[in-house]
Amino acid sequence: MKIGNNQMVKMKIDFKNIVTGVLMLMCSHLVNAQFLSASDTSENSVRRYKSIISSNKDIVDFIEYSLSEKGLPRHLRNLALIESGFDKSQVSGAGAAGVWQLMTAHANHYGLSEQRRSDLYRSTKTAVVSLGNLYKKYNNWVTVVAAYNCGEGNIAKAMEAAGSSQYHIFYKYLPAETINHVKKYLNACYATGELQSVLSNYNSSRMNTVFIAGNGSNKNNSSLSETEINAGFNLNIIADELKIDVDKILAWNPGIEEELQNKGESLLYLPVDLMPDFLLRKNKILSRSIKEGR
């Protein structure tokens, strides 16, 4: 079969575009890995984190068991490590309490009373559920740690201000305390030998988002995230903003139209790679929905 000159030129251009795309992704991967790294790898830092863990072996064992029971990585034990040093009686100046430093509103949201926040068993069960929900929403542990510290509202604002759902881009719009909190977490993970796992998870999430969102290919991801929307949202506008067919939204969310109409609110399920894009455009989508009418 003969290939014409025009076809040859097109093939060369396509190949060049593919190579350029791959190189850009590789560079992005390297930049992420360099940016998200431990800022303190000193012996003193490593020794301090390891000493706190070894001094609280029973608590650590329970936390790790609770995490693994729900399919969550054991390195999340380092969140309790940097939050409280595993001190059940610790109360922060802002009023956060217990090993997981839960605020009253956060605890109440998961059915945990203010007094029970210092209960290791109950607070750990609450924290595990909360962390699992955050992961469904953000699909990487770096953003989860940030959201745990400053709240989902601040994450949404930072994403919107940066025009990106990637932590290494939107982090500069977060509170300084949260940025420092993520640094501490990465330092603790370095000390426990789990930093590479955290970085790989972040980069994997990033690369997956770039490949899927970048080429507009199949978005039927079997892993779904959830968020809440009210009746003000127009499903057609959500589909338009996310550049997908509204039928896909209806397939992922059977009965959502009736629930929005009858209850005025509903959970919205989207593939994990699409959820950050929705959260980034959420205010714009609602504004368009109201302006253009449901």
List, for residues 47-105, the tens digit of each pLDDT value: 999 999 999 999 999 999 999 999 999 999 999 999 999 999 888 888 888 899 988 88
For 110-127, write each residue's pLDDT tens digit: 888 888 888 899 999 999
Closest CA relative to residue 76, chosen from 189, 181, 180, 155: 189
> Amino acid identity of 253?
N
Residue ranges of alpha helices (H) inside 70-175 are: 77-84, 104-109, 120-138, 141-150, 152-162, 167-170
Q: How far is CA 234 from CA 10, 253, 289, in A?
A: 40, 14, 5
Positive/negative CA dihedral, 103, 105, 106, 112: positive
pLDDT band at 206 (very low <50, low <70, confident <90, very high): low
Q: Is the pTM of this model over 0.85?
A: no
**What confidence category does residue 35 fall into, taking pLDDT thresholds of 50, 70 and 90?**
low
What is d(CA 79, CA 66) in angstroms, rounded to the nearest whole number?
Answer: 14
Beta strands 224-230 and 265-271 are antiparallel
On average, the pLDDT of the chain sits at 83
* 9 has pLDDT over 50: no
- What domains are defined for the chain? 30-215 (1.10.530.10), 224-292 (no CATH)
pLDDT band at 28 (very low <50, low <70, confident <90, very high): very low
First to last CA, the chain: 54
